[in-house]
């Protein structure tokens, strides 16, 4: 049985309630080949949970809100369960091999929110990166039956979370070494984020096809082009909320959203507060600019 690399391992430890222990719900390494593989985040009954899933080979499809992503080798996604998302093996893919980890949300809300700010919902990691090594180590410990109590599980989760957070810092430090085409695209998005309608113009600014540009941008920056645009829009929105008298609806249009309600939804998912509450929050008086790495 140990010669079989795939498996799923679940945990239901009884943790001391007074201690901030991160709770591992399940981890696995799977290969799916049937197109009936489909998970709807709004219909699952095992939550509330957080999920990290990382593609090893093949490809799958992931939808979050109104955006759909094809996930290839190196692509990951992070979601909250329940939530407005689904992921599946599309008919155009013959297999999808991936690692996944499910965590209980208790004690992890602030860390998870920080993680989403740092790496986004669809980050990319090189197979030899510290993040992937940590993920593989967690699975290997589970497969070898070496996770015997909640303390061991919590320490493995903490290590993975720290590697994820550190990855965003390393990617930022490496920005100077980005390929010239990606630098051009990033500069174009920084200048035009408030009126971008599609990725076609961005890809054209980089001199690449949209498909190749998207793959290259994700591999280089660790986030999708649309995650990068969202980051720029929310950073500008924070400045306007604190320094202008524009309404939330007006700010939404100024930074590139067609409706105030959708802007509010995106803002809350990124910052943790609705825009109006962020503007008035007395506990945040010193934040005039919020930067997302």
The whole-number pLDDT of residue 65 equals 86
Q: Give yes or no: residues 136 and 222 share one domain.
A: no
Domain count, the chain: 2
Asked if 65 and 137 sit in the same domain, the reply is: yes
Q: What is the pLDDT of residue 89?
A: 96
Are 131 and 273 in a shared domain?
no
Q: Establish if 291 belongs to a structural domain.
A: no
- Tell me, what CATH number does 26's domain have? 2.60.120.280
Average confidence (pLDDT) over 269-286: 67
Query: 158 and 68 share a domain?
Result: yes
Residue 287, domain member (yes or no): no
In what order do the strands lie in the sheet containing 7-10?
Answer: 7-10, 24-32, 96-104, 49-58, 76-81
Q: What is the CATH number of the domain that holds 236?
A: 1.10.10.60
- With respect to residue 151, please indicate whether it lies within any of the assigned structural domains: yes
Q: Is the pLDDT of residue 30 over 50?
A: yes
Q: Which residue has the higher pLDDT, 118 or 33?
A: 33
| Mean per-residue pLDDT of the chain | 86
Asked if residue 237 and residue 169 are part of one domain, the reply reads no
- For residues 42 and 157, membership in a common domain is answered with yes
Mean pLDDT to the nearest integer, 1-9 = 71
> Does 206 reside within a domain?
yes
| Domain termination residue (choose one: 173, 192, 223) | 173
Domain match, 122 and 145 both? yes
Same domain, 148 and 168: yes
Last residue of a domain, one of 122, 140, 173: 173
Cis peptide before 48 (omega within 30 of 0): yes
Whether 44 and 186 share a structural domain: no
Residues in the chain: 293
Contact 217, 207 (CB under 8 A): no
Asked, for residue 30, whether it belongs to a domain, the answer is yes
Dist. CA 168–CA 11, nearest whole Å:
29
Residue 2 included in any domain:
no
* Shared domain check, 161 and 57: yes
In a domain, 260, yes or no: yes
**What whole-number distance in Å separates Cα of residue 250 and Cα of residue 258?**
10
**Residue by residue, what is the 3-state secondary structure of 191-254?**
HHHHHCCCCHHHHHHHCCCHHHHHHHHHHHHCCCHHHHHHHHHHHHHHHHHHHCCCCHHHHHHH
Q: Choose one of 158, 173, 188: the last residue of a domain.
A: 173
Q: What is the pLDDT of residues 39-54, one digit of tens each?
A: 999 998 888 999 999 9
Domain region containing 48: 7-173
> pLDDT value at position 282?
39
Q: Is residue 45 part of a domain?
A: yes
Neighbours of 2 (CB within 10 A): 8
Same domain for 161 and 193?
A: no
Measured distance CA(109)–CA(98) in Å, rounded: 24
Encode pLDDT of 166-180 as tens digits. 887 655 556 667 888
Residue 25: helix, strand or coil by DSSP?
strand
For the stretch 61-83, pLDDT in tens is 999 988 888 999 999 999 999 99
On whether both 259 and 166 belong to a single domain, the answer is no
């Amino acid at each position: 049985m140990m010669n079989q690399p795939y498996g799923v391992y679940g945990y239901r430890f009884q943790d001391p309630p007074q201690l901030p222990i991160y709770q591992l719900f399940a981890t696995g390494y799977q290969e799916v080949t049937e197109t009936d593989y489909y998970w709807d985040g709004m219909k699952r009954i095992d939550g509330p949970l957080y999920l990290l899933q990382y593609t090893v080979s093949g490809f799958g499809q992931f939808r979050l809100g109104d955006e759909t992503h094809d996930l290839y080798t190196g692509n990951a996604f992070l979601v909250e369960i329940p939530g407005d998302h689904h992921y599946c093996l599309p008919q155009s893919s013959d297999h999808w091999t991936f690692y996944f980890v499910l965590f209980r949300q208790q004690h992890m809300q602030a860390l998870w929110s920080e993680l989403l700010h740092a790496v986004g919902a669809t980050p990319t990691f090189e197979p030899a990166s510290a993040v992937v090594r940590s993920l593989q180590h967690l699975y290997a410990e589970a497969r070898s039956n070496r996770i015997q109590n909640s303390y061991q599980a919590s320490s493995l989760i903490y290590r993975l979370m720290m590697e994820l957070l550190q990855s965003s810092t390393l990617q930022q430090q490496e920005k100077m070494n980005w390929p010239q085409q990606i630098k051009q695209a990033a500069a174009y998005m920084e200048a035009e984020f408030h009126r971008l309608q599609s990725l076609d113009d961005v890809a054209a600014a980089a001199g690449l096809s949209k498909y190749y540009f998207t793959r290259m941008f994700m591999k280089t920056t660790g986030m999708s082009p649309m995650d990068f645009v969202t980051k720029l829009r929310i950073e500008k929105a924070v400045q306007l909320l604190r320094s202008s008298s524009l309404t939330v609806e007006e700010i939404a249009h100024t930074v590139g959203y067609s409706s105030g309600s959708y802007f509010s939804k995106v803002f809350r998912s990124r910052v943790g507060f609705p825009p109006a509450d962020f503007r008035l929050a007395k506990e945040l008086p010193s934040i005039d600019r919020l930067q997302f790495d």
